[in-house]
Amino acid sequence: MFENLTQRMSRVVKTLRGEARLTESNTQDMLREVRLALLEADVALPVVREFVARIKEKALGHEVADSLNPGQALVGIVHSELTALMGGDLGEGASELSLATQPPAIILMAGLQGAGKTTTTGKLAKWLTEGGHVQQGRKSGKKKVLVVSADVYRPAAIDQLKTVAEQAKVDFLPSDPSQKPEAIATGAVEHAKRHHYDILIVDTAGRLGVDEAMMREIRSLHDLLNPIETLFVVDAMQGQDAVNTAKAFGDALPLTGVVLTKLDGDARGGAALSVRHVTGKPLKFVGVSEKLDGLEPFHPERMAQRVLGMGDIVSLVEQAQKNIDIAEAQKMAAKLKSSSRFDLNDFRDQLQQVKKMGDMGSLLEKLPAQFSQAASQLQGGQAEKQLRRTEGILNAMTPQERAKPELLKASRKRRIAAGSGVPVQEVNRLLAQFEQMQGMMKQMKKGGMAKMMRAMGG
């Protein structure tokens, strides 16, 4: 997700950090780089102009010149302007869903065909069902969610939502293509009330382009449903077109927010940067994979950090926390401390934990640029593939072999390789890797984390 922009911007950040003094010329250089990076990312020209002008104004002001480290102060300005550009000025919580209303809270989904509306309906339903909207520290807020499709035009649309809902394990209300969308919507609200649903998400028909008949229909659905959230779903890979479409919809319909899908395939990122500025609507969610857990609430500040190559550690930790079995992890930690050795059984357990953390691709992206570039070879599903292969090899061993890897002589290795469908070299590689890890674990026990980080060159 916007690799090019991050690469360029993190280069700017790196250069700036090193500057002890700001001169007319290095400030100009920096502004030019930022401008190029944004244009290349397909950010709308007026947005770029204004953004660069604001940085320039602040850079030339006292804010920077008087600070101890002007280079770093400039990085700070770029960061805070980027945050503001993406909606940070809306204030805390503005990019969250508002659901405080008499149940059912209705969410209306709008967007063009193929934007990812149905998928996002499923993702959002899953996220709400699992209590994803509840901030840490607050009480559990798992919601009872119902989804319904009011798309009576595309033959398979209703079935598609049904399939998505099944995968997401959320309730689906069947509808019939012979009904009018308005009738479906009214029926769904009644059903949701009668069965005490907290939230009703209404998926609607998309068209290939913005057309008047579709606008009329969605407006009439909007009037009828009076939704608390009206979300416009748009494909990030459309760049400026995405933003213009969102604006057209926003002018015709009181949108409460935008969802940018397919950010995982968007190397530029322009839409994420300009949508707030151009439409005046907050970006509330981003879609980061085809899978149903590939939806993330949008946080302008964290995204700004990611764009600047500083990584998004908070999201990373949140994602890890969501999926990792804390009890299991603690057990493992205790075991590592007490047991004299770390064996392949432990290694296998750890891999399982890593797998639970979620989609590796999206995890890697949240690391600071230096790391994620190193890890980029692992992208495109490579990391997961490798993980599965490693697991396969470990599974082909007997528990005894995992407990005592020294048992693994040539004939056993051949058996394991055949059993897991890999060449023997790969078994050897895994064992070598494991030995390295074992060494690291010993270090960790002896000298703690700090020593290990030093050993790793960190």
Residue ranges for the binding site for GTP? 111-118, 203-207, 261-264
- Please report how close the Cβ of residue 197 comes to ligand GDP at its closest, in angstroms: 22
The yes or no reply on residue 126 touching ligand GDP (CB under 6 A) is no
Residue 226 has φ and ψ, to the nearest 5°, of: 45, 60
Q: Which residues are annotated as a binding site?
A: 111-118, 203-207, 261-264
Task: Give the DSSP H or E segment for 402.
Answer: helix 399-403
- By CB under 6 A, name the one of 7, 15, 113, 379 that touches ligand GDP: 113
User: Which residues ranging from 180 to 219 are in contact with ligand GDP (CB under 6 A)?
Assistant: 206
Q: Give the DSSP H or E segment for 350.
A: helix 344-356
- When the beta carbons of 85 and 115 are compared against ligand GDP, the nearer one is 115
# residues near ligand GDP by CB under 6 A: 18
Contact call for residues 157 and 205 (beta carbons, < 8 A): yes
Name the minimum Å distance from CB 205 to ligand GDP.
9
State phi, psi for 250 to the nearest 5 degrees.
-65, -30
Least distance to ligand GDP from the beta carbon of 376, Å?
17
Name which of 262 and 302 has its Cβ closer to ligand GDP.
262
Contacting ligand GDP (CB under 6 A), which of 81, 171, 229, 264? 264
Looking at beta carbons only, is 381 or 423 nearer to ligand GDP? 381
Beta carbon of residue 85, minimum distance to ligand GDP (angstroms, whole number): 22
Number of H helices, E strands in the chain: 21, 8
Tokens coding 11: 């280069």
**CB-based burial of residue 247 (10 Å sphere; 0-12 exposed, 13-18 middle, 19+ buried)?**
middle
Q: Binding marks (x or -) toward ligand GDP, 275..314, rule CB under 6 A?
A: ------------xxxx---x--------------------
Question: Which lies closer to ligand GDP via its Cβ, residue 9 or residue 205?
Answer: 205
Residue 175 and residue 158 in contact, taking contact as beta carbons nearer than 8 Å: yes
User: Is residue 245 close enough to count as binding ligand GDP by CB under 6 A?
Assistant: no
In the complex, minimum distance from the CB of residue 287 to ligand GDP, in angstroms, rounded to a whole number? 2
- Local structure of residue 172 (DSSP, 8 states): E
Cross-strand pairs, 287: 295
- Residues 6+ away with beta carbon under 8 Å from 35: 48, 52
